[in-house]
């Protein structure tokens, strides 16, 4: 569903250059749940953003389906993302003037698709926010805001969901609900999930775990158990 070849990403210039990605080649197969772990600053968010078309590689190639991201215009890239990609940001990126409910439905509005009401309800139930939909982000706890960000990515039922530490602010019960739901979306609906996490418990829901260190892949575990 998505892949990168020989991907590099450089930030800064001269002495203060940081090679956030330093030669990464990886494929995310359709209908699979991949977890990515690694030290803080190892390049996980950078890899996710480049694979999802939210940022550009310095060198190397990135694909979603058969479309090469580096060859698309800004407009084509935006349309591709809107149609195929859901993204849960490490820092949520919610719209502060919209309520939780409006934030969740927002990508569907943008894509001019009508929310499937039954699906919307199921997603809202899963993230446990049914009684908080009328509140704005500033009136929600940290974990509730994170759950709004997760619901927003799930409700579009995109082909591929990139989730950057989606359970970092959640207790075991709330994370379990979300992780099982993503697992079900992969096994029953054929969606593809790529999830960054620091929690081995969360990684154990995935089919495969990749390890990133200093911008390079340094390991892989299939069908992990905690």
Ligand X SMILES: Nc1ncnc2c1ncn2[C@@H]1O[C@H](COP(=O)(O)OP(=O)(O)OP(=O)(O)O)[C@@H](O)[C@H]1O
By the criterion CB under 6 A, which residues form the site for ligand X? 11-12, 18, 20, 38, 40-46, 90, 132, 135, 138-144, 169
Considering the rule CB under 8 A, would residue 170 count as an interface residue with a second copy? yes
Considering the rule CB under 5 A, would residue 141 count as an interface residue with Mg ion? yes
Q: Determine phi and psi for 25, rounding to 5 degrees.
A: -125, 120
Interacting span for a second copy (CB under 8 A) from 39-47, 66-74, 99-107, 116-124: 39-47
Q: How far is the CB of 30 from Mg ion (least distance, A)?
A: 25
Considering the rule CB under 8 A, would residue 36 count as an interface residue with a second copy? no
Q: Which position among 72, 80, 82, 199 is part of the footprint of a second copy (CB under 8 A)?
A: 199
Measured from the CB atom, is 76 or 93 closer to ligand X? 93
Structure tokens at 75: 């407009």
Measured from the CB atom, is 8 or 169 closer to Mg ion? 169
The burial class, CB within 10 Å (0-12 / 13-18 / 19+), for 8 is middle
C-alpha triplet 83, 210, 59: angle, nearest 5°: 65
Q: How far is the CB of 97 from a second copy (least distance, A)?
A: 18
For a second copy (CB under 8 A), the number of binding residues is 34
- DSSP per residue, 79-107: HHHHHHEEEE-TT----TTS-HHHHHHHH
Considering the rule CB under 5 A, would residue 42 count as an interface residue with Mg ion? no
Considering the rule CB under 8 A, would residue 73 count as an interface residue with a second copy? no
Alpha-carbon distance of 104 to 106, in angstroms, equals 6
**Residue span 114-133 as binding mask against a second copy, x where in contact by CB under 8 A, dash where not:** --------------x---x-
Rg, the chain, Cα only = 17
Q: Which region, left, alpha or beta, applies to residue 38 given φ > 0 means left and ψ of -120 to 50 means alpha?
A: left
Q: How far is the CB of 64 from ligand X (least distance, A)?
A: 19
Q: Residue 18's beta-bridge partner residues?
A: 11
């Amino acid at each position: 569903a998505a892949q990168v070849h020989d991907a590099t990403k450089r930030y800064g210039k001269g002495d203060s250059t940081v090679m956030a990605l330093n030669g990464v080649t990886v494929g995310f197969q359709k209908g699979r749940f991949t977890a990515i772990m690694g030290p803080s600053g190892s390049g996980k968010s950078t890899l996710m953003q480049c694979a999802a078309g939210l940022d550009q590689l310095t060198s190397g190639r990135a694909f979603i389906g058969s479309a090469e991201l580096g060859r698309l215009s800004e407009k084509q890239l935006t349309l591709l993302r809107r149609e195929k990609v859901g993204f849960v940001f490490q820092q949520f990126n919610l719209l502060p003037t919209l309520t939780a409910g409006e934030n969740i439905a927002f990508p569907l509005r943008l894509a001019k698709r009508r929310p499937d009401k039954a699906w919307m309800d199921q997603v809202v139930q899963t993230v446990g926010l049914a009684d908080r939909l009328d509140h704005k982000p500033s009136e929600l706890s940290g974990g509730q805001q994170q759950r709004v960000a997760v619901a927003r990515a799930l409700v579009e039922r995109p082909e591929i969901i990139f989730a950057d530490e989606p359970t970092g602010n959640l207790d075991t019960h709330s994370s379990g609900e979300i992780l099982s739901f993503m697992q079900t979306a992969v096994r029953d609906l054929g969606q593809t999930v790529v999830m960054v996490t620091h929690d081995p418990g969360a990684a154990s829901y995935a089919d495969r775990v990749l390890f990133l260190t200093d911008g390079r892949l340094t390991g892989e575990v299939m069908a992990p158990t905690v």
